[in-house]
Chain A
């Protein structure tokens, strides 16, 4: 039984759809990557699941955590889930921490909410968490403010806050996008370590296939508010079936061989208020046929845990010769 399953999750802002029916299950202990370009709905998916979107968002569908429906759940239930069972860290660590509160206070706040820890016990647990996420001189750092720390350290603090509630699932929303490349690698390594040691489930949201390939076992590719392909990471790289996924892989620079022009996908993502009637990728697709515009294709199983939303998949799917590292 999956830890979390999303069924038909849809979100619209002021009538413009941002998510158009997401079906995704995350099993206990696995690491799932969610990739796609900016605005495809990767973050909105999990913000909607946790009820963190502004009130004007219209949400439908279902998000079930261990048998508990979260969409429309009362605030008291959601507050226990947030941070306690599903924790989330965000893209820009510097602005994601409250500038007027000390680091220690921001960690102990979560400890008080989810583990009833206060006073000295909470403080020493906060110190242990800072040690765990690799912040040097943790006991002194508890009294520091976010602006006194570097971006990488702030992201470690965010992770410590997320771990404070001992969640089963950590949703990391572009956790390394705002950081230097060397710091990126350190943060990803930290997330992998923590997962190994604590058996935590991880959802890694990224626009970077390389980041996901390095940290996840399974990946879901999103385009214009829908999942278009879902596969184990090795299979995605060797046998991507959706033309969009193939386009993304084709746009990766090769590690060896002669330099070549990177293959770009022609056209642009359709605007939310002007979605094509059928497959959202059809206007940019080389394999488009009349049927593509007739209706939105659902996810079709292609192989074990490999599903793809494309009518032309028989024509399109072919193993790629080169597999990037």
Chain B
């Protein structure tokens, strides 16, 4: 078990290092931050001074290694815009984002999983078809379309809810629903196919053949097996808690990490963008690690050796 975790942590570190490198290269190649931040009309001396101040005049590989070295020491750099620490800028936005993504995750799970199970148990019934039509619509419609549609209906036409901003909890309702419905649709489809797959297995027939009532066959025999693929999808959703709301935050003018990312990319505010990407990579890697550990818990076949697993 310890070896398993150690190898996973090593792989996680490698993943994060790759993300950092990739982000560095792409951002450096996609335009001159000094020029963008100072503006096109800035005098060349001012732009040069900015370059010197931020170390942008050094050779690229020197910049890369000093950047990497700083990260290893826990220094994620400062925003080129207002000079504050990037990590502070980012972390102060996290609560706002979680205020959207956590309730949305709850909606995804509480709506998507039961809908998927119900559809699988009533395969080809009217209810199954309705659930699947909604589910397909739910994940083919992009979130900005759904968001704007909800604004149109509930904010503009009915006037029940505000269309954007973060003044009260009521402002969060539409963005949470926008995020939640799309994810619930994805989860419903995955849960349905996982359940159908399991319900067709011979051990389900064995359980019925020994006299287990159908309800107990579903809860005791089918669900624990269907949970294994479903957990993968939920893990992926947990991984996007920090940066999964970029589009929705923009549509609803919600001051979270996602909007900060959009602004920082537009400004080539390198330290902030890299700080967010690092945070996203870390959450994704942690979510994957948790999923891997849950697999071992849910599926005895995946435990290393009998008797040795936790």
Chain A residues in the interface with B (C-beta under 8 A): 47, 50, 52, 75, 79-84, 87-88, 90, 92, 95-101, 109-110, 113-114, 144-145, 147-148, 158, 161-162, 164-165
Contacts and interface: CB of A to CB of B under 8 A. Distances in A.
A315 to B, nearest CB: 43
Given A52-B209, A110-B210, A144 B306 contact: yes
B301 A145 contact: yes
Given A52-B208, A92-B202, A100 B298 contact: yes
B211 interface: yes
A80 B205 contact: no
Given A82-B210, A82-B211, A109-B212, A100 B202 contact: no
Contacts of A98: 203, 206-207, 221, 225
A84 B211 contact: yes
Given A75-B214, A144-B306, A99 B300 contact: yes
Interface of B: 201-203, 205-214, 220-221, 224-225, 298-301, 306
A211 B269 CA distance: 77
A134 B225 CA distance: 29
A97 B205 CA distance: 10
24 contacts: A79-B211, A82-B209, A92-B202, A95-B202, A95-B203, A98-B203, A98-B206, A99-B203, A99-B300, A100-B299, A100-B300, A101-B221, A109-B212, A110-B210, A110-B211, A113-B210, A113-B211, A113-B212, A144-B306, A145-B300, A145-B301, A147-B300, A148-B306, A161-B206
A87 B214 CA distance: 17
A96 B213 contact: no
Q: Is the interface of B mostly helix, strand, loop or mixed?
A: helix
Contacts of A80: 211
Nearest to B301: A147
Contacts of A162: 210
Given A99-B299, A100-B298, A100-B300, A87 B205 contact: no
A96 B203 contact: yes
Given A98-B225, A100-B225, A90 B210 contact: no
Nearest to A85: B211
Given A99-B299, A148-B306, A87 B209 contact: yes
Contacts of A96: 202-203, 205-206
B210 A87 contact: yes
A100 B211 contact: no
A165 B211 CA distance: 9
B209 A99 contact: no
Given A79-B211, A165-B210, 4 more contacts: A88-B209, A100-B224, A110-B210, A113-B211
Contacts, number: 78
Contacts of B206: 90, 96-98, 158, 161
Contacts of A148: 306
Contacts of A161: 206, 210
A18 B201 CA distance: 21
Given A75-B214, A79-B212, A99-B225, A90 B202 contact: yes
Contacts of B220: 109
Contacts of A95: 201-203
A79 B202 contact: no
A113 B217 CA distance: 13
B215 to A, nearest CB: 10
A109 B208 CA distance: 12
Contacts of B209: 50, 52, 82-83, 87-88, 90
Nearest to A84: B211
A110 B306 CA distance: 25
A70 B107 CA distance: 44
Nearest to A99: B301
Nearest to A107: B210
A228 B22 CA distance: 72
Contacts of A97: 203, 206
B154 to A, nearest CB: 41
Nearest to B307: A143
Nearest to B200: A54
Contacts of B214: 75
B306 A83 contact: no
B212 A90 contact: no
Contacts of A90: 202, 205-206, 209
Nearest to B300: A145
Contacts of B299: 99-100
Q: Please name the 4 residue pairs, one residue from A and one from B, whose CB atoms are nearest each other, closest first.
A: A83-B211, A83-B210, A82-B211, A145-B300
A75 B212 contact: no
Contacts of A83: 209-211
B219 to A, nearest CB: 13
Contacts of B202: 90, 92, 95-96
B203 A79 contact: no
A147 B224 CA distance: 16
Nearest to B201: A95
A52 B212 CA distance: 12
Nearest to B204: A98
A87 B224 CA distance: 24
A208 B300 CA distance: 35
A87 B209 CA distance: 7
Contacts of B203: 95-99
A308 B208 CA distance: 34
A136 B147 CA distance: 63
Nearest to A91: B202
Residue of B208, B210, B214 with most partner-chain A CB within 10 A: B210
Contacts of B213: 75, 79
Contact of B211 (A47, A92, A114, A147): A114
A155 to B, nearest CB: 12
